[in-house]
Amino acid sequence: MLRILANDGMDKTAVDYLTGLGHEVVTDHFAGADLDKAVTEFDALIVRSATKVREPLIDIAAEAGKLKLVVRAGVGIDNIDHKYAEERALLYAIHQRLQVHQSQSLQLLICLLFPALSMFLM
């Protein structure tokens, strides 16, 4: 089971799908020091445009060793320092179609990424 933080919210259908697969999904929004603490307690972080994933947050996540995947749900990755995330061994993914066909696109993302992540964590 993965602990997933959808920090900028997530459609109920997608949350239900993930929880149906046995994952825990938290859709609370954290900012500042609360987000710093939260990334130490989750395996995956899904963000839209509101959450910024910059070097200090990546360092906290990397040092804690639990967070392994950051997913950008939407267009672009300007809110994620993806090159630095790679240097700190965090996987990241971009999923641009979540806005159009949210539940089907998320299901595809889950089918492709989370099984690989599960193997990576074992």
pLDDT tens for each residue of 43-102: 989 898 899 999 999 999 989 988 888 888 877 778 888 888 888 877 766 665 444 444
- Which domain CATH number covers 48? 3.40.50.720
- The distance from CA 57 to its chain's CA centroid, rounded to whole angstroms, is 13
Q: How far is CA 59 from CA 3, 46, 53, 101, in A?
A: 19, 17, 10, 33
- Of 98, 46, 96, the residue nearest 67 (C-alpha): 46
**Lookup: tokens for 49:** 């445009």
- Of 85, 59, 83, 84, the residue nearest 70 (C-alpha): 85
Residue 69 phi, psi (nearest 5): -140, 135
pTM beyond cutoff 0.85:
no
How many domains are contained in the chain? 1
Domain coverage including residue 21: 3-121
pLDDT tens for each residue of 8-48: 988 888 888 888 888 999 999 999 999 999 999 999 898 98
Q: Position of tokens 């939407």?
A: 74
